[in-house]
Amino acid sequence: MFDKILIANRGEIALRVLRACKELGIATVAVHSTADADAMHVRLADESVCIGPPPARDSYLNIPALMSACEITGADAVHPGYGFLSENARFADILRDHDITFIGPSPEHIRLMGDKIEAKRTAKRLGIPVVPGSDGAVTDDDEAKRVAAEVGYPLLVKASAGGGGRGMKVAMTPDALPQALSTARAEAKAAFGDDALYIERYLEKPRHIEIQIFGDGKGAGVHLGERDCSLQRRHQKVWEEATSPGINAREREEIGTRVAEAVAELGYSGAGTIEFLYERGEFFFIEMNTRLQVEHPVTEMITGIDLVNEQIRVASGGELSVKQSDIVLSGHSIECRINAEDPQTFQPSPGELTYYYPPGGPGVRVDSALYQGYRIPPYYDSLIGKLIVYGKTRNECLMRLRRALSEYVVDGISTTIPLFQRLLGEQDIVDGQYDIHWLERYLADG
């Protein structure tokens, strides 16, 4: 097992990782920018190192500064959290070259899944259903036209280096294809320095369902059920739940088994998420994420498994604590992302927390690094906490969520708490009847 882990992140996820380390008896190193000197993850860590000025590219994304922090503290492993360097294969390479363990999959698996065309080809080879579309990259407009005619319209042009909604263009009809291709190609070139594109049939009203997986890197693979992340705005998830109210036990078992077999076959190590679009009883692979995700707690709540503890065990060469038959999904969990934003306009709202009172009681978990008097800096993303509730049934979960939101007091800044109170008054939400466009339609209609 590791002696000392450096946590290359900030905010609630740095604290989440720190908690797992403490429970394992592993010493912790926090890193922080000058803007985060007063942050909770710094206060609670055994040691801390300032790694640069506020902009993330100069601090949390600054690989030389992080390597120096490892060197001076003698950390033997790095946990990247999510975002920042969590899916940076070069960072994983450099750590490997310095005999420091990256708590995550191999750089090869990160690289493979970062290339969306290669990821899709791999998924297909492993027997995972994919969205019908081009077989790999489309290199010129004539080829694109031929493929498009077979795939059918509407279709979507995607950037191989994209992901998370970046570099996508819809073409509703053949007339719109040339424009979609040239815009997508120019944007991909500018944003990623890679203009490889591929084509997929456009699914019009799917749900976004992702499956949590784990591999031990030695041929074992398990799944921990799915999360429904359809409620999002501008590709930012807002509300996530496990299990999905949109699929049944047979569908869950079937896709889960398929995915776990693929993970084993791939020799994947650590936590990962396989993302699907789900429409009319069918799953279609879109991407794989090779990191711990923001919404991992809902899976922890319904499985009783500590995902960060498992990541650390596996990265240190241990085995998973569970086999597939030990994993039982029980009850229901919902996560609301609490952002420091105006709940109507979504404008960021940094500033000082003049009063802070988080909810508690049965089935309530708050993952945040907030405390009364803390000043939320303006430099980073606006996620300041996650309210996670658990219930034996979805209905109990909704009742608890309503209750927990009514207790939650955050003064001095605006938060998205009122948005969740509004959502709980909507029949579609109560019924679990929503797709990936539901929230944006709701917000547009006032």
Catalytic residue numbers read 291
Question: Using an 8 Å Cβ cutoff, are 137 and 196 in contact?
Answer: yes
Nearest to 8, CA basis, from 107, 79, 74, 83: 79
- Identify which of 289, 302, 382 has the alpha carbon closest to the alpha carbon of residue 334: 302
Per-residue interface string for the shown chain with ligand MV4, residues 57-86, x marking contact by CB under 6 A:
------------------------------
Amino acid identity of residue 406, one-letter, is S
Q: Which is nearer to ligand MV4, 50 or 147 (CB)?
A: 147
Residue 348 CB, nearest approach to ligand MV4 (Å): 21
With beta carbons less than 8 A apart as the criterion, state whether 109 and 217 touch: no
**How near is the Cβ of 389 to ligand MV4 at its closest, in Å?**
22
Q: Measured at the alpha carbon of residue 440, what is the angle toward residues 434 and 446, in degrees to the nearest 5?
A: 105
Q: Which residues contact 128 (CB under 8 A, 6 or more apart)?
A: 258, 259, 262, 274, 285
Q: Establish if 203 lies at the interface with ligand MV4 (CB under 6 A).
A: yes
Give the contact letters, 384-413, x = binds to ligand MV4 (CB under 6 A), - = no: ------------------------------
Instruction: Kindly indicate which of the ranges 66-74, 162-170, 298-306, 400-408 contains the residues binding ligand MV4, using the contact rule CB under 6 A.
Output: 162-170
207-226 binders of ligand MV4 (CB under 6 A): 208
Residue 187's nearest CA partner among 154, 162, 212 is 162
Classify residue 325 by burial, with Cβ atoms within 10 Å: 0-12, 13-18, 19+: exposed
Rounded Cα distance, 285 and 276, in Å = 4
Q: Which residue, 216 or 240, has its beta carbon nearer to ligand MV4?
A: 240
- Closest separation between CB of residue 246 and ligand MV4, Å? 13
232 binds ligand MV4 (CB under 6 A): yes
Q: Which stretch binds ligand MV4 (CB under 6 A): 196-204, 291-299, 350-358, 392-400?
A: 196-204
Which range touches ligand MV4 (CB under 6 A), out of 65-73, 157-165, 242-250, 377-385? 157-165
For ligand MV4, give the closer residue by CB, 287 or 306. Answer: 287
Per-residue contact flags (x/-) with ligand MV4 for residues 258 to 297, judged by CB under 6 A: -------------------x--------xx----------
Of 238, 446, 228, nearest in space to 339 by CA: 238
Mind giving me the DSSP string for 276-328?
Answer: EEEETTEEEEEEEE-S--TTHHHHHHHH---HHHHHHHHHTT---S--GGG--
- Residue 337 sits at φ, ψ, to 5 deg, of -85, 120
Kindly tell me which residue out of 436, 438, 439, 442 binds ligand MV4, with binding defined by CB under 6 A: 436
**Out of 202, 239, 390, 408, which residue is the one contacting ligand MV4 (CB under 6 A)?**
202
* 442 makes contact with ligand MV4 (CB under 6 A): no
Residue 405 identity? L
- Site for ligand MV4 contains 244 (CB under 6 A): no
- 138 forms part of the interface with ligand MV4 (CB under 6 A): no
Q: What is the binding site for ligand MV4 (CB under 6 A)? A: 131, 156, 163-165, 200-203, 208, 232, 235, 277, 286-287, 436
